[in-house]
Amino acid sequence: QVQLVESGGGLVQAGESVRLSCTASGSSFSINSMGWYRQVPGKQRVLAATITSGGKTKYADSVKGRFTISRDIAKNTVYLQMNSLKLEDTAAYLCNLDAIVDGWAQEYWGQGTQVTVSS
């Protein structure tokens, strides 16, 4: 079993910055990719940013140039640095992990951390 623990988020003003972190722990697993998705009530969960085990990153167009995803391999942790926040960045941010556990591909989700951007 693999667990994801998220931290960061909160209430910030437009233009400010926030950093999210997510740490994976549990039984033996290997990471394919980790990332962040975001969701607002009544809408589908959408990609914010992901990073593969090889370091390849992918960003939603709406966050390119403002958000940076990075990882600490030794700590099984992924970070999302969010700069120049906009009102429309308000959402629950959920950590995602694609991993191999006992030879099987598995996907895990964190509980989510709320980011609220005010004017």
Higher pLDDT, 28 or 4: 4
Among 19, 18, 54, 8, which Cα is nearest to 34's?
54
User: For 69-108, how does the pLDDT look when each residue is reduced to its tens digit (9 = 90+)?
Assistant: 999 999 999 999 999 999 999 999 999 999 999 999 999 9
Nearest CA-CA partner of 117 in 17, 6, 8: 17
The amino acid at 95: C
pLDDT band (50, 70, 90) for residue 68? very high
Section 37-57 average pLDDT:
97
- Residue 55, pLDDT > 90, answer yes
User: How sure is the predictor about 57, in pLDDT bands with cuts at 50, 70 and 90?
Assistant: very high
